[in-house]
Structure 1
Amino acid sequence: MTRTSGTPRTNSPSVRPWRRVLVVLAVSQLVAPVVVSALAGDFLESGATNEALITPAGYAFSLWGVITLLCATTSLAVWRFGLGPSWETSLLVDASVVFVGFSLWLAVAAQDWLWATVAVFAVMVGALAHIMLLLVRHRSDLSCPPWLATLATVTFGLYLGWSSIAVFANVAAALIDSGVSPDAVPWQLVVLVAAAGFAVLLTVTLRGTVGYAAGVLWALVAIAIGAAQRDSVLLAATAAVAAVIVAGATAWSRRVS
């Protein structure tokens, strides 16, 4: 549970500027896709980005809109109320890195620098994982309103869940761009199993938090549908089984935590 009394809300000079920075960067995530698309066209619809058999079905990418809107809402709420703990500045710095990373990812993807997109996503996933560890494992430090604690956990959990699978999809795209066959199943099976294993590890580490599980399940189901649309029964079945395992790990982690 979050505290509503006890530890005072952090309002030190060092944390207040980061709250304002976070709002600006959160809004930039809403603007960046429009700007990059105007300059580079609909670059995500072609090339190696969409050639892998384990590319999520097209509808799945609409989740980015939900995530960026939640980030803007959460950032405004943090600016207004603050989170409270001594580690708030650390969380806000990590979140700022993530928000900058989103715009940078779009920029490098528009240039077809696909290994660079992998590097950007890896940094984003690392920062998001640290944010979620703070929010989940040190929740009792929070002195903000309970609804804000829940909003922040859901927002960054959803962001991490989707991104922790997307980084592997970007690896697949980068390998294809480097000359690996987009129709070969074995190597894509390895990438998919690695993504699922990483997701299960984070699910347990984050105690089955719902936001993270939702982001992962959205991605895995979309991969199953995308693989089926490309007539890869094995990869579709593997993604579906992975989704069931993640759902089971989520239920188990919530029961024992």
Structure 2
Amino acid sequence: MRPAFALLAVLLSLSFAASPFFVEGFGGFDPNQFPVPQDTPPVQPAGYAFGIWGLIYIWLILGMAWGAIRALRDGQWHDMRVPLCLSLAFGTGWLAVAVASPVWAAVLIWAMLLTALAALFMAPVGDRVWAAWPVGLYAGWLSAASCVSLGLLAAGYGWLDQTTAALVFVGLAIVLGGFVQGALGRAPTYGAAVIWALVAVVVNNLETAPMVAYVAGGGALAMVVPTLKALMRG
């Protein structure tokens, strides 16, 4: 089974990276997908931040390919690959689901996150550049994106106003990110991805929703500490 999962991890990394080509025109949720239209929601990072997906796709493909060549039957790699394959399978279909339903997209992205975190904690201590680091970047961005999805739903369905939803769920991203990076104690790419997302929230809100920007900026600064500890420990 180990060689099969090694090959599957490579194939799913490729299908995940290719998924945007099969769902044309998705540039985020349509504001009118929600009962309360979400125009420029403050919980969302600035658009440039989503460029991190390019690095995530490439690093996952290279990492899983390296592992398939150099660690085909390795037990630690296998333990990581099993939940990672599940996460990437969810991710391959995520864009198609997001076009149809923001609610189910939120459910699916949390499934992606939980399985990605399982893979990250099981990642080999060695080979970190090809295993823990790309998975950490992926899981870190998903940690922020999963909280954003809940913030969009909370405001989009009228449970909270946009600013309150942003404060609550940006706060959740900070707590989740800090807890995971501190508990993990390695793979600083996880914290780096969370910081990247929080800084982009600052950029998106500095003029329009300064309170959200201040909370996100404080969270980004707080995340620097466990991220640097993980880097120095590595």
Cα distance in 2, alignment partners of residues 245 and 118 from structure 1: 26
Q: Determine if the alignment matches structure 1 residue 249 to structure 2 residue 206.
A: no
User: What is the number of equivalent residue pairs in this alignment?
Assistant: 229
Question: Which moved further from structure 2: 238-247 or 81-90?
Answer: 81-90
For residue 183 of structure 2, what is the aligned residue in structure 1? 205
TM-score normalised by length of structure 1: 0.81
Give the residue type in structure 1 aligned to 2:194: V
On the 8 A contact 1:114/1:177 being kept in 2, the answer is: no
Answering whether residue 20 of structure 2 is matched by residue 33 of structure 1, we say yes
Instruction: With a CA cutoff of 8 Å and minimum separation of 6, indicate the structure with the bigger relative contact order.
Output: 1
Contact 2:154–2:165 (Cα < 8 Å) also in 1: no
**Alpha carbons of structure 1 residues 237 and 252: separation in structure 2 relative to 1, 3 Å:** same
Q: Determine the structure 1 residue equivalent to 2:192.
A: 214
Shift of 1:252: 4.3
| CA displacement at 1:255 relative to structure 2 | 6.0
Alpha-carbon deviation of 1:256? 7.4
Q: State yes or no: 1:76 paired with 2:65.
A: yes
* 1:21 partner amino acid: L
1:225-248 Cα deviation digits (max 9, x unpaired): 11225x100000110000000102
Partners of 1:62 and 1:186 in 2: CA distance = 27
- 1:133: which partner in 2? 121
Give the deviation of 1:104 after TM superposition. 1.9
Which has the larger displacement, 22-31 or 55-64? 22-31
Given the alignment of the two structures, is residue 173 of structure 1 paired with residue 157 of structure 2, yes or no? Answer: no
Which string of whole-angstrom CA distances, capped at 9 and with x for unpartnered residues, describes residues 111-146 of structure 1?
Answer: 1x11212211111111111122122xx62xx5xxxx
Distance 1:251 1:71, change over 3 A: closer
Partner of 1:152: 131
Unaligned runs of 5+ in 2: none
2: CA distance, partners of 1:67 / 1:217: 15
**1:88 counterpart = 2:77:** yes
2:148 maps to amino acid: A
How far did residue 63 of structure 1 move?
A: 0.6
Deviation at 1:149, TM superposition (A): 3.1
Between the aligned residues of both structures, percent identity stands at: 21
Q: Which stretch of structure 1 is more off in the superposition, 83-92 or 201-210?
A: 83-92
Structure exhibiting the larger radius of gyration computed from Cα positions: 1
Q: Deviations over 1:130-165 (max 9, x none)?
A: 122122xx62xx5xxxxx432211100100111101
Counterpart amino acid of residue 8 in structure 2:
V
Structure 1 gap segments, 5+ residues each: 1-13, 143-147
RMSD between superposed Cα atoms in Å: 2.2
Secondary structure of the structure 2 residue equivalent to 1:149? coil
1:44 is aligned, of 23, 28, 36, to: 28
Distance in 2 between residues matched to 1:204 and 1:198, nearest whole Å:
10
The answer for the alignment partner of 2:171 in structure 1 is 193
Inter-CA distance 163–17: structure 2 relative to 1 (3 Å threshold): same
Paired with 1:64 and 1:43, the residues of 2 have a C-alpha distance of 13
Alignment partner, residue 145 of structure 1: none
SS, match of residue 150 in structure 1: coil
Counterparts of 1:83 and 1:97, CA distance in 2: 18
Residue 10 (structure 2) aligns with: 23
Q: Report the residue type matching 1:245 in the other structure.
A: A
